[in-house]
Chains A and B, each alone.
Chain A
Amino acid sequence: MAEHARVYLRLAAASVRSTARRPAYLAARTVAAALIVAIEVAGVVLMLDRFGSIGGWRPPEVVLLFGLAFTAQGLALVFGDTLEADKMSELVRRGTFDQVLTRPASPLGWVVTSYVDTRFLGRMLAGAATVVWATDRAGVTWTPGRAGLAALAVACAAAIIFGVLLAAAGFTFVTVQASEAVNVFIYGGQYLASYPMQIYGSVLRFMFVWVVPLGLAIYVPALGVLGRQGPPGLPGWLAWLVAPVAGAFLALGGLAWRAGIRHYVGTGS
């Protein structure tokens, strides 16, 4: 197990080194990603300032939710960005995924560690900075319990996003290969660089990158971090459900991924 982990760590390190061969590029990408977070946060703050508060939430309290969400997205996408439909279909189309399957490694482990994107490290760090800033402005005193809740929120939201990405990637195998099989016979095996199809709509995407993780994994723990009461009727024990729900998303995503691979290899049909 430890040996496996070391191999994947080496792959991840190699993929970061690959980008680091062009340090300016690496830095620019990371900083730009962090700046985008800063701009989005500034936008939220400016907008909320006009209202003073929303449903009794002061601007820094709302910003905390965003900060936790940014951190979680960054964490999930550092590894999970390649699982996006367009990138997966590119791997399949170029035949790279075939090669992955000839390696003595788990395909998921390989894909996830071979294309680490430091942009999302920037997003993650900027998200964490946002959390620190927001809690400071909201007058939160950090306790081990609150830090634990914040970490729980980030980890669980990241798990949910990652689970959804996994499921989408699994689905990509089915759709891309269907068209690929057609191409092989119509164009004699030449890889066609036709544009990858968009698998899930932008509305759905918004739902799963923002609404679902925020609502399921971030909102409830954030109440604890801020020392706020939830709306009446929201039971306090809900916080205990966050981890199992996130785990379920991850597990379902994993199943979908495996089903996708089985389909790709041809065991599924």
Chain B
Amino acid sequence: MTNRVIEVEGLRKRFRTRRGPVEAVAGIDFQVRAGEFVGYAGPNGAGKSTTVKMMSGILLPSGGRVEVCGMVPYRERKRLARRMGVVFGQRTQLWWDLPLEESFELVGHLYRIPAAERVARLRRLEEVLALGPLLAVPVRSLSLGQRMRAELAAAVLPSPEVLFLDEPTIGLDVEAKAAVRDFLRELNRDEGTTVILTTHDLDDITRLCSRLMIIDHGRLIYDGSVEALRTAYGTTRVLVVDLAEDEPVQLAGAVLARAEGRRRWLEFARDEVSAAELIARLLAGHEVADLTLEEPDIEDIVRRIYRGETRPRR
């Protein structure tokens, strides 16, 4: 017994198209331990959903190995289905024309959850996700945010060990996004559910994930913590300074990126000068009212990685 929930080794998927074979996933390796919250990002067509489909038994790999909960997904599809939850943001798993509570009841029967257990678990989920007033409403009449909360409840009702989420916050307003994220964070923390989150929303990832994997052209180009991504790729940091007086600033090791009133944005490279050093130099020559240090924006870094502008520093 290992505590590895997902093991992927040399995983490949080739599709035959009229234009010849296309390698959607070109040999990737990773392991996910129980209880991890993994963000899986990459540009469109990079192989994200193909990987997820292979992990959930929808697609057979063309090569390599994949195991989820100790099972080979495509071979033990139905057995695995009982232990995993899947939420696709743009599609529904619920019964569209029926009141929401009937969906929960059907899920209960489908996953053979004893009635008492279902009722108890549902009561908790209803509370956490504020579903109470929605139970009698047909799913088609729910707002997107309400529906997504309901989708999550239906997906975790059978207490899955692994949860695959595909763009769960797409199209949601700020409040609904926060509700979804809070729920996922608690689920991961309290029940130890392993979560694989596929998303374009890097905010989701920085707020939720302990680990980030980036796939591009079918290959994993990054696998590590979000913080490590910043240090590996994010070379420039910005020192924002509010000067006591409006005066020109010249500092060795920093470039003036922007000036607005008495505020200056000074860009500097992490490996050339430390923030402490730079601040010391600044304070030596200027009177400073206030200053803050801006770390590189994750979204920015990832965008540059996608465009191939950035290489990891050694």
Contacts and interface: CB of A to CB of B under 8 A. Distances in A.
A181 B17 contact: yes
Interface in A164-189: 178, 181-182, 184-185, 188-189
Interface stretch (B58-66, B187-195, B240-248): B58-66
A104 B81 contact: yes
B109 A185 contact: no
A21 interface: yes
Given A104-B111, A184-B15, A265 B59 contact: yes
Contacts of B112: 3
Given A21-B138, A266-B60, A104 B82 contact: yes
Contacts of B62: 266
A26 B246 CA distance: 76
Contacts of A108: none
Contacts of A182: 17-19
A267 interface: yes
A7 B110 contact: yes
B30 interface: no
B22 A185 contact: yes
B53 interface: yes
Interface stretch (B90-98, B122-130, B226-234): B90-98
Nearest to B83: A104
B45 A102 contact: no
A69 B22 CA distance: 47
Contacts of B138: 21
B86 interface: yes
A185 B15 contact: yes
Interface string A80-106: 000000000000001110110111111
Contact of A189 (B19, B49, B60, B96): B49
B259 interface: no
Interface stretch (A9-17, A134-142, A225-233): A9-17
Contacts of B3: none
B81 A103 contact: yes
Contact of A102 (B16, B18, B60, B81): B81
Contact of A267 (B22, B74, B93, B111): B74
Contacts of B44: 188-189
B307 interface: no
Contacts of B82: 104
Contacts of B86: 99, 102
Interface in B54-81: 56-62, 74, 77-79, 81
A216 B130 CA distance: 58
A194 interface: no
Interface residues of A, number: 32
Contacts of B59: 265-266
Nearest to A183: B17
Nearest to A267: B60
Interface in A234-269: 265-267, 269
Contacts of A53: none
Interface in A1-44: 3, 6-7, 10-11, 14, 17-19, 21
A79 to B, nearest CB: 18
B45 A18 contact: no
B22 A18 contact: no
A94 B96 CA distance: 15
B58 A101 contact: yes
A269 B95 CA distance: 34
A8 to B, nearest CB: 10
B88 interface: yes
Contacts of B136: none
Interface of B: 13, 15-19, 22, 24, 44-45, 49, 53, 56-62, 74, 77-79, 81-82, 84, 86, 88, 90-91, 93, 95-98, 102, 106, 109-112, 138
21 contacts: A6-B109, A10-B106, A10-B109, A14-B98, A14-B106, A17-B97, A17-B102, A18-B95, A21-B138, A95-B90, A98-B53, A98-B58, A104-B78, A104-B110, A105-B81, A105-B110, A184-B24, A185-B19, A266-B59, A267-B74, A269-B16
Interface of A: 3, 6-7, 10-11, 14, 17-19, 21, 94-96, 98-99, 101-106, 178, 181-182, 184-185, 188-189, 265-267, 269
